[in-house]
Amino acid sequence: MRSIAEALQSMLPAFPTLGEEEVPLTRAAGRYLASDIVADLDSPAFDNSAMDGYAVRAAVVASASTDIPVRLRVSSESRTGGDIPSELEPGTVCRIFTGATMPPGADAVVIQEDTKRDGEEVDIFEASTVGRHVRARGSDVRRGETILRQGDRLWPGEIGLLASQNVARMRVYRQPRVALLSTGDELETLGEELAPGKIINSNVYVLGEMLGLLGAIPDPLPAARDDLPSIEAALRRALEADVVITIGGVSVGAYDLVHEAFQHLGIDPEFWKVRIKPGKPLAFAQHHGKPVIGLPGNPISAMVTFEVLVAPCLRQMLGDREPHPQPLVARLQHAYHRRPGRVEIARGVATRHGDEIHVSLHKLQGSGSLPSFVGVNALVILPSDRGDFNAGDQVDTILWGSGLRGPHSFFDSVS
Ligand code: AMP
Ligand code: MG
């Protein structure tokens, strides 16, 4: 049986990026860049004022002070978005506003608060230095500079930078389409009446959402029955996607027929089991280079194995240079005892207390218990060789879902 690390080592090489496509900026959020982006424009594109005030030549106001102001004529005005101002007449100032172009010949801005206007003239009460309150052309970005790198994910900040550079379209990696093939005679579609012994196919909705949040495209197929022809037919259809995920039927029960269906289609798993709890039965194969993953059917097992083993692979496929979550260290709030042997991914609630993250495990830790994932914001990693954990022990914890939140603003205690 493989460790989680060994399983990931086998899986990751099967998830290269899928090629590129061009998207408009308005469709690019959450995507990963397929190439570096080089600035086409200086930013700012022109010297402009950082404040409302008066554009001056610093040398002319060098002697200004509150007691002995320098009085100068206001010879021009530069409005934000207005005409390009002409050269500043020597010995005068130009009325200017935030974002407006600096007139040639001016090299500093005196803020309005340090002046007093008197008709056509203004008293300057504060000396200035060259460049003060001026946003110089190219001071943020120089034309020709690499501003974003291949593999960067486009979050709002990146979108803003691209928009400011007038980049309307960009090359991103293609999103994998991931077939979700549930198996089980007990499964019903959401909204259908539940006959005795039947359950709603909740996994397909959960995994569909998890795929969407990663940035992949879920392709949920109708659930297959627990018979070989049904599973095989569904698998053939699933193999049209970029990645195949089957759900359920990978265990050792008489109706766990996914093994056999794989065999019939020539899908040859590299492994069937991983030392992870919940979720031991987990198959991974490559069919003509296409990744095929058999997830366990128990809802919590499916979620945990997806998050730990499948999500990093898909992030890599989506173009992420850093596909692996980095745990933070949290302090367990209570004792927990279990049988060692597998790495356990326990669901918990993390909170912040001063310098520390505290984590409490959900009291339900069963592999089928859906309430055990509700309100959870932390996956606690319990190493395989330890069975006894005490209150106060430090545990590695991956933040999940909403992350750390609280009812009170942190800024109540920050001035
Ligand atoms: P299996 O892996 O097929 O042996 O299923 C293990 C448990 O998970 C059984 O209780 C199944 O009813 C349940 N299960 C399997 N597939 C799903 C699914 N798609 N949605 C919800 N529960 C499932
Ligand atoms: Mg089943």
Q: What are the residue boundaries of the structural domains of the chain, listed by start? A: 4-16+175-318, 20-43+139-173, 48-135, 328-413
- So what's the pLDDT on residue 34? 98
Fold of 328-413: Beta-clip (2.40.340)
- Shortest-distance Cα residue to atom 14 of ligand 1: 297
Q: Between vectors from CA 103 to CA 94 and to CA 127, what angle results, nearest 5°?
A: 55
- Angle made by CA atoms 91, 97, 100, in degrees to the nearest 5: 90
Amino acid 126: pLDDT:
98
Question: In the structure, which protein residues have their CB atom closer than 6 angstroms to any atom of ligand 1?
Answer: 182, 184, 186-187, 199, 201-204, 247-249, 251, 253, 256, 296-299, 368
> Token match 């110089």: residue?
136
Could you report the per-residue pLDDT of 314-353, keeping only the tens digit for each?
999 999 999 999 999 999 999 999 999 999 999 999 999 9
The answer to whether residue 262 scores a pLDDT higher than 90 is: yes
Q: What is the pLDDT of residue 254?
A: 86
Mean pLDDT on 219-225: 98
Q: State the distance from the centre of ligand 2 to the C-alpha of 247, rounded, in angstroms.
A: 8
* Atom 23 in ligand 1: residue holding the nearest Cα: 297
Ligand 2 center–CA 203 separation, angstroms: 12
Top-tier CATH class for 20-43+139-173:
alpha beta
Which of 180, 183, 185, 187 has the most ligand 1 atoms within 8 A of CB, as the residue to mutate?
A: 187
Query: What's the CA-to-centroid distance between 198 and ligand 2, angstroms?
Result: 12
Please state, in angstroms and rounded to a whole number, the distance separating the CA atoms of residues 223 and 190.
Answer: 12
Residue 191: partners with Cβ closer than 8 Å, 6 or more residues away = none
Of the ligands numbered here, which is closest to the C-alpha atom of 223? 1
Looking at residue 176, what is its pLDDT? 98
413 falls in which pLDDT band (50, 70, 90)?
confident
The preferred substitution site among 185, 209, 258, 298 for testing ligand 1, maximizing ligand atoms within 8 Å of CB, is: 298
How much distance in Å is there from the Cα of 283 to the middle of ligand 1? 15
- pLDDT tens-place string over residues 187-215: 999 999 999 999 999 999 999 999 999 99
- Domain 48-135: give its CATH architecture: Beta Complex (2.170)
CA distance 50 to 128: 14
The residues pairing with 218 across neighbouring beta strands, listed in sequence order, are 178
Q: Dihedral of the CA atoms 234, 236, 238, 243 (nearest 10)?
A: 140
Of 391, 388, 245, 396, nearest in space to 310 by CA: 245
Pick the CATH number of 4-16+175-318 from 3.40.50.720, 3.40.1710.10, 3.40.980.10, 3.20.110.20: 3.40.980.10
Nearest CA to ligand 1 atom 12: 186
Ligand that comes closest to the CA of residue 252: 1
Average the pLDDT over 235-242 and give the result.
98
* Distance in angstroms (rounded) separating the CA atoms of residues 328 and 113: 47
How far away, in angstroms, is 256 Cα from ligand 2 center? 6
Helix, strand, coil percentages (3-state) for the chain, rounded to 5, are: 20, 30, 45
CB 391: neighbour CB atoms within 10 A? Answer: 11
Task: Report residue 373's pLDDT band, with 50, 70 and 90 as the boundaries.
Answer: very high
Ligand 2 centroid from CA 186, angstroms? 8
Task: Give the separation between CA 31 and CA 265, rounded to whole angstroms.
Answer: 34
Cis, bond preceding 44 (omega within 30 deg of 0): yes
- Going from the Cα of 291 to the center of ligand 1, the distance in angstroms, rounded, reads 22
